[in-house]
Amino acid sequence: MKRPLYIAGGGAVTPAGLNRRQTLAAVRAGLSAYEEYLLAEPMGASQIVSRIPTHWSLRTTDWDWLVNMAARAIMDALASTSADPRTTVLILVLPEQFRNHAAFEEEDPSGFLNAIVRACGGPFHEASRTLDGGAAASIGVLHKMVEILAHPGVERVLLGGVDSLVNDKDIARLAEAGRLKGSDNSQGLVPGEAAAFVCLQSRPDSKSPCLAAIHGAGFAQEADSVLTERYSQGKALLGALQGALNGTGDGPREPDIVFVVSNGNGERYSGWEANIARSRFYRTRREMLPIAYPAMTVGEVGAAGGALALLVASDSFTAGYAPGPVAMCEVASEAGLRAAALVSDVKSG
């Protein structure tokens, strides 16, 4: 990245909270939003999930539910900075295409962004668009946000995603692959759902203090993803970590990194991959490397995981519970994209 990006605010709706403040307070407190969910097939069976409590009318269809989640989180993010939607570029990450998400079985994904804009009640900047790539896409495009913010008429970028794995289609797919947490698999994932966004700007704002600075971002594609028959050796995650560190100029270096925020979801595969990559990347001796896992509170939230990791890192600085001033956000997508972002307290940055 040519210069740092600044996180000025954000928004979220998760099983742990209906806005950013509630969600981050639940993560800080180490609360769990897990609950038992009755499956349609096989009838009477149950699965542990992390589900947002809501009125049934908001879940009329899977499409409506994703729109409602995204709109609520976006409005929360806009309110956190009093941003003007007309000068704000909305970058929205959708559930990865290979999943053929239930929300898009009868509706064309190309109309999803317009549906969200209507739900928010106003137009966003014309450069707004959707992305594929899952959770890691929110991190992988950070270097492009610097260029977007340099365009005339653009004051902020609202970057994030929306997803729900709490649907019969995804649960059946994960169950068939033996990837769900249960009595017979302690190292599985818990399906969750969320929408999360960070509000980015190119420089600190004297009117509203920024939450964190992003100094670098890297990404790479993992050939041996969890969808293949081979175990990952962490090559792509290592490349993403190195990419986040390269080109940061006078920014933090590897010895300065004090803790990690990861979207690791409890699967054996993700744990092995991350441990292999970290052992190759972190060369400075440390007594310990604290790691925050938001999935312990909200489960696997798919495309929303990247922005949620940035929000947790930012909150740790502003709320004073970070073990140090510099963090690395590590984010993995199911289909293989890996991304990392070097984040610091604004004062240290």
CATH number assigned to the domain covering 214-344: 3.40.47.10
Q: What is the DSSP string of 166-202?
A: -SHHHHHHHHHTT-B-BTTBSS-B-B-EEEEEEEEES
Domains 5-201 and 214-344 share a fold: yes
* Alpha carbon distance 215, 198 (integer Å): 15
Q: Which of 1, 86, 52, 14 is nearest to 307 (CA)?
A: 14
Element (H, E) at 162: strand 156-164
**Cα within 13 Å of Cα(117), Cβ side:** 21
* Alpha carbon distance 28, 290 (integer Å): 14
Q: What is the pLDDT of residues 78-89, one digit of tens each?
A: 999 988 999 999
Q: What is the pLDDT of residues 248-295, one digit of tens each?
A: 667 899 999 999 999 999 999 999 999 999 999 999 999 999 999 999
CATH number assigned to the domain covering 5-201: 3.40.47.10
pTM for the model stands at: 0.96
Q: For residues 13-21, give the mean pLDDT.
A: 97
The domains of the chain are located at 5-201, 214-344
- Can you give the pLDDT at residue 348? 57
